[in-house]
A and B are shown apart, each in its own frame.
Chain A
Amino acid sequence: AQKVTQAQTEISVVEKEDVTLDCVYETRDTTYYLFWYKQPPSGELVFLIRRNSFDEQNEISGRYSWNFQKSTSSFNFTITASQVVDSAVYFCALSSGNTGKLIFGQGTTLQVKP
């Protein structure tokens, strides 16, 4: 069975704090893809990153960084020096097999206060 768990329902931080959003996944497939999406209040999903199962290198993009660890089936997302504009719901998702279907986690609502 495939499953994505985002245990943090809501996180509230003050601007400039660092924040890490957790994501744990389950799959029996050896080839799979992991994603992070941002959903601002407007509702439109914004793609942040895709990582395939064979690439465990961590990635940094500006204030965003991702830590992929197959040993713990985790794909955590860190925002450094958070800003109010980072306030949104963040979804972690998994795709495996050849259907391309995405399995989404429950989402984490991040509120960054000024």
Chain B
Amino acid sequence: GAVVSQHPSRVICKSGTSVKIECRSLDFQATTMFWYRQFPKKSLMLMATSNEGSKATYEQGVEKDKFLINHASLTLSTLTVTSAHPEDSSFYICSASSRTTYEQYFGPGTRLTVT
């Protein structure tokens, strides 16, 4: 299957700083990328959907100014957590899909810890 990478896999940052997480599709063109958040022992909650070249569509309750999503190319989407706080600590997972398939290919996830 297709491969999606995320970088970094783990990050620890101080409260008030910003953190950028990258999501890359390595062997296919991802017209759509999704960002999910998962709290410990909880399900995956969709944060936003991003289509290449256009603004991301955020789910209800997700702060656009806090979670900046950019999908500038067909192989890269970034999620920036701005002015991070301890409550932003979570497991962030991206997925990517192309026009030709309903399949979503998931990245390995990024564990963010804000101290």
- Say yes or no: B97 contacts A91, CB within 8 Å: no
- Say yes or no: A50 contacts B103, CB within 8 Å: yes
- Say yes or no: A45 contacts B93, CB within 8 Å: yes
- Say yes or no: A43 contacts B91, CB within 8 Å: yes
Q: Which residues of B in the span 56-103 have a Cβ within 8 Å of any Cβ on A?
A: 91, 93, 95, 97, 102-103
Give complex CA distance A107, B44 in Å: 9
Chain B nearest CB: distance from A41 CB in Å?
12
Residues of A within 8 A of B103 (CB): 47, 50
- Say yes or no: B32 contacts A100, CB within 8 Å: yes
Query: Contacts A43-B91, A45-B93 known; A91 to B43 CB distance under 8 Å?
Result: yes
Chain B nearest CB: distance from A55 CB in Å?
13
Residues of B within 8 A of A42 (CB): 108
Q: Which residue of chain B lies nearest to A99 when distances are taken between CB atoms in the complex?
A: B49
A contact set with B: CB distance below 8 Å: 33, 37, 42-45, 47, 50, 91, 95, 99-107, 109
Pairs across A and B, CB under 8 Å, 21 listed: A33-B102, A43-B108, A44-B106, A45-B44, A45-B106, A47-B103, A47-B105, A47-B106, A91-B43, A91-B44, A95-B104, A99-B49, A100-B32, A100-B104, A102-B34, A102-B46, A102-B104, A103-B46, A104-B45, A107-B43, A109-B41
The 8 A-B pairs of least Cβ separation, nearest first, read: A45-B106, A44-B108, A43-B109, A104-B44, A104-B43, A106-B43, A107-B43, A100-B97
